[in-house]
Amino acid sequence: MKIVLHNKFTLLLTCLFLIFTQQVKAQSDTLKADKHPKDSSQITTQQGAIYNRPFINLASTGRLSLAIGGYIEGNTNYFVTDGIKEGFSMQLRRTTIFIYSTVARRIKFLSEIEFENGTKEINIEFAALDFEINPALNFRGGIIMSPIGAFNVNHDGPRWEFIDRPLVTTQIIPSTLSEAGFGFHGRFFGHNKVFTYDAYLVNGLQDGIILNAEGRTFLQEGKHPDRFEKDNNGEPSFVSRVAFNHRKFAEVGLSFYGGAYNSYRINGIKVDDRRTLGVYVVDFYSVIKKKLNIKGELVYVNVEIPQSVKPFLGNRQWGGYVDLIYPVLKRTVLKYENTVVNLNLRLEAVDYNVGEFSETGQKIFDEIKAVVGGISIRPSGNTVLRANYRYHWTRDILGNPSVRTAGIQVGFSSYF
C-alpha cells in the first residue's frame, strides 16, 4: 500500500514537474513569438486549430493589442407638418462598436459595427486592414467608407453639433456608404500643411438608384446588400478624395465617385445600355479667429438615365450645407470641467431633380430647403448634449406650395 502511495506521490510530482516545465517552455515560446510572431498557417494539430489563434496566444500573455470602443446617440423628436402633429417620440439612433487591433507594426485593423434604431438595421460600416508602406503610401482593403466628401468618413455622432445629419449627406450622398474595395491612402507633410489623398476601387452602387420606391433618382437606394459580395456589373467604381489642410486656416477637400451602376451585363452578356454616375463634392472646414467653426459640403451628381424614363427621373442633383458653430461658454459647469457651450446654425438645401419640364418649360422642383438652429453642450470633448429646432420647406416636383415641417429635438451622443 505504501509502495502504491509512494508511486502515486512520485507520479504526482512527475506530473507537476512536467506541467511546470511545459509552462516555462510555453512562456518562452510566446516571448519568442512576440519577437517573431508564429506563422498562423502552421499548426501542430488540426484539432488545436481553433485555439491556436494569434489573439488567444497574445491575450494569454497580456500582450494583446486590441481596443474596443464605440459611440451611442439618441434623441427625442417632436415634429409638425402643416399643422399635423406627429406627436412626441424617442429614438436611439445608433449604437456603434469599434474594434481596433495593431496586428503588427504598420499593419492595423479597424472595424465599425453599427446598430441603427435598436437592431432594426445592423451594418458593418467599416472593416479594413491598413498596411503602411510609408506615411505617404498605405494600402487599405476590406469594407471601407468611401471618401465622398468629408462627412461620409467623419460621421461619428459625438463629432457633430446637430442631431440630424446634413440632408445632403443622406438625400444626395448615400451616407454612410460602406463598400467592399481596396486602394491607397496617404499624407504628405509640410510646415503647418498636410496634403492627404484617398483612392479606392469599390464594387459601386447598383440599379436601385432609379425606379425605386422613392419615385426619384436616389443614390441611397443603390446600396444593394449584395455589394459586399460581388459587383453587379463586374466593373468597379472609383472613389477618391484629395484634401489640403493648413493648420492655421482651413481644410478643403475635393472628391469624386463614379462608375457604371446598372447591371448592364449578366454573366458577361450585355443586356442593357451601360449607365454611369458621377458624384462631385467640395468640402471645407475652417475656424475663424479661433472661435467660429465653419464647415460644409457642396455636392453635384450626374446620373445617366434610360431614355425610357428620362422625363420622369432627374439626371442631375445637387445639395449642400453650411454649419456655423460658435462657442459661447467654456467653464466648469456642475463640476464638469471645461464644459463648452456652442450656439449653432445650419443652412441646407437639396435639389433632387435639376432641369425643366420639356412639356411646359417650367422648372422642375423636387427640393428641400432647411434651416436648423441649436445649442450644444459638451461636458467633455467626447460627449455632446444637443437641442435643435428644424424648419423645412419641401416642394414637390411641380413646385406647388411648400409643405412646411418644423420640429424640436433634444439628444445626446457620446463616445465610450
Partner 1 sequence: MKSKFLLIASIITFIVVACSKIMPPEPDPEAVLAGPVEDLSPQQMANHIKGDEEFSRVFGVSDGLGPIFVAASCESCHAGDGKGHPSTTLTRFGKYNGPTWDPMISEGGPQLQHFSISGYPAEQVPSGIFGMTRLVAPAVTGLGYLEAIEDAAILALADAADANADGISGVPSYIAPPNYFIAKYHHQPVAGKYIGRFGKKAGAIDLTQQTANAYLNDIGITSDFNMQDLYNVQTGNNTGDNVPDPEVSASTVHNVAFYMRTLKLPPRRNAKDAKVLQGEQIFLNIGCGGCHTPTLTTGNSDIAALSNKVIHPYTDLLLHDMGNELNDNYTEGSAQPAEWRTPPLWGIGLTKDSQGGQMFLLHDGRAKTFEEAINYHGGESSGSRTAFQNLTQSEKEALIKFLESL
Q: How far is residue 101 CA from its own chain's centroid?
A: 18
Task: List own/partner pairs for 35-39 with CB under 8 A and 24 or more apart.
Answer: 37/104
Q: Report the nearest approach of partner 1 to the CB of residue 81 (Å).
A: 7
Tell me: does residue 325 bind partner 1 (CB under 8 A): no
- The cell numbers describing 38, all together, are 508564429
Q: Which residue of 81, 154, 276, 380 would you call a contact of partner 1, by CB under 8 A?
A: 81
8 Å CB contact between 181 and 129: no
CA–CA dist 348, 279 (Å, integer): 18
Quick one: 69 or 306, whose CB is closer to partner 1?
A: 306
Tell me: does residue 355 bind partner 1 (CB under 8 A): no
Quick one: 13 or 271, whose CB is closer to partner 1?
A: 271
DSSP 327-394: EEEEEEETTEEEEEEEEEEEEEEEES--SB-TTT-PBP--EEEEEEEEEEEEEETTEEEEEEEEEEEE
Q: What is the DSSP letter of 171?
A: I
Touching partner 1, residues 102-161 (CB under 8 A): none
Q: Report the nearest approach of partner 1 to the CB of residue 171 (Å).
A: 15
Q: Report the nearest approach of partner 1 to the CB of residue 174 (Å).
A: 16
The stretch among 157-165, 173-181, 284-292, 325-333 that binds partner 1 (CB under 8 A) is 325-333
Q: Report the nearest approach of partner 1 to the CB of residue 373 (Å).
A: 9
Q: Report the nearest approach of partner 1 to the CB of residue 306 (Å).
A: 6
The stretch among 44-52, 83-91, 153-161, 181-189 that binds partner 1 (CB under 8 A) is 83-91
- Is-cis flag, bond preceding 405, omega within 30? no
Other CB atoms within 10 Å distance of the CB of residue 183? 21
Touching partner 1, residues 186-245 (CB under 8 A): 207-208, 210-215, 221
Tell me: does residue 360 bind partner 1 (CB under 8 A): yes
The 3-state DSSP class for residue 205 equals coil
Q: Report the nearest approach of partner 1 to the CB of residue 160 (Å).
A: 19
Q: Report the nearest approach of partner 1 to the CB of residue 274 (Å).
A: 12
Tell me: does residue 4 bind partner 1 (CB under 8 A): no
- Of 374, 372, 378, residue with least CA distance to 341: 378
Identity of the amino acid at 386: R
The 3-state DSSP class for residue 261 equals coil
Q: Report the nearest approach of partner 1 to the CB of residue 363 (Å).
A: 8
- Angle (CA) 321-322-324 rounded to 5° is 150
Touching partner 1, residues 253-272 (CB under 8 A): 262, 271-272
Quick one: 186 or 399, whose CB is closer to partner 1?
A: 399
The stretch among 62-70, 93-101, 139-147, 360-368 that binds partner 1 (CB under 8 A) is 360-368
DSSP-H helix ranges across 142-272: 167
Tell me: does residue 389 bind partner 1 (CB under 8 A): yes
- The cell numbers describing 414, all together, are 457620446
* Interacting residues toward partner 1 by CB under 8 A: 78, 80-85, 207-208, 210-215, 221, 262, 271-272, 306-309, 311-312, 328-329, 331, 341, 343, 357-360, 362, 365, 375, 387, 389, 391, 396-401, 404-406, 408
